[in-house]
Amino acid sequence: MMSDLKAKKLLILGGSRISCEIVKKAKDMGIYTLVTDWYSEERSPAKKLADKAFMTSTADVSAVVDLIKKENVDGVITGFTDSTLAYYAQICQQAGLPCYGTKEQFETLTNKRVYKKLCRDFGVPVIDEYFINENIDTADLKGIKYPVLVKPADNSGGRGISICNNEQELITAYKKALSFSESKEILIERYITGKEVTAFYILQDGNTYLTAMANRHIKHNQSDTIALPVAYTFPSKHLIEYQKNIEPNVKKMFESLNMKNGMVFMQCIVKEDQCLVYDIGYRLTGTLEYKLLDAVCGYNPLEMLIRFALTGQMAKFPLKEKVTPQWDEYGCNVSFLIKPGTIEEIKGIDEILEIPGVIDAVLAHTEGDELPDSAKGTLRQIVLRVFAKTQSENELEKLLDTIYNKLTVLSSEGENMLLEGFDTEEIRGALC
């Protein structure tokens, strides 16, 4: 418990299951928690954990500001999706409370087309793209080389994304992506397969620090959908090359936006040893890598964002004293994927938590939850994330094999819902 934050009031915007992580951490810090959105407790489970809950929509800025004043809230935080960020900035501004980013910064870093241009301006490599108008003119389609990836410019989590191998598939996918895009901007990128990595950053008072680089292991275990992540392993063998050739330009790019505090992740595909950025988030990410940073490096970005919300400071110490992406230990985040259906039973989590080296296990679904067919190809298919660390690559491979043998997820029909997972042999030669 942090005595200087004890009994302060923190309002969390959005009560999704993953937002339970914010509530739990804030409570561990001695903070009084409030959660608001317009969903019931069944759809907004963080409300059940919070000290107080409300039905005020996070998009109703003036109503949330009134709530803040009425409840004497000391700080506001939002979590793991892009959609709330602009509202979060407006709410904090009108309420006179700390916000780690501005509305303009969030708008830039949640629009894929806008931030890809920014990357190009600063020499940060990105994936090539094609431009067509909403009418999908035949002339625009002639120059496209397949396969391509079609996705909304302003959505995340795999929603609205399609792989297209011909013109008709592209037209269908374009219309689908439009239905997921508030801005009605669609991105068509060259579809590239290859190894993937994610770079994680923390910012403090205008200083940018690379905290980690992970191999993002993906699995093509379903037809007609994008591959989904099944594991992240740290630190990646691509770290040194990234630090040398890309990180300096990324820092200049963040400086151009006048970014001061917060955290950022950048997902990349590696092609010919070059990291090509394809996704950026100026927010907490579902990888929950802060659990590994806490266990391996001794600092916790989630705690820092909570502290910032209540005090306007990320930490009581200069981050440069602790931050290094070259870890002394190896870490992993394993994601278990399930097929659509109704979850009848989840077994093995207690056994997983007892395995030496396991740090935590976080459920994304519980028994009784129904995963619809529309969730295929999105991060909603993740049922469990497990976090662990070891002293060697060989130990990490063995540990992951042990973890995989423990979990069972059964449907209401008694069928195994788990999809094929991570091939642990991929660790060999992938770590720094």
The pLDDT assigned to 156 comes to 67
Q: Looking at 65-79, 167-181, 245-259, which range is the least confident one?
A: 167-181
Q: Which domains does the chain have, with CATH numbers?
A: 8-99 (3.40.50.20), 129-190 (3.30.1490.20), 196-427 (3.30.470.20)
How many Å apart are CA 332 and CA 359, to the nearest integer? 10
The confidence score (pLDDT) of residue 120 equals 97
* pLDDT one-digit tens code per residue, 70-117: 999 999 999 898 999 999 999 999 999 999 999 999 999 999 999 999
Chain mean pLDDT for the chain: 94
Flag whether the pTM goes above 0.85. Answer: yes
CB atoms within 10 A of CB 179: 10
Those residues with Cβ within 8 angstroms of residue 377's Cβ, 6 or more apart along the chain or in another chain: 158, 161, 222, 224, 225, 226, 228
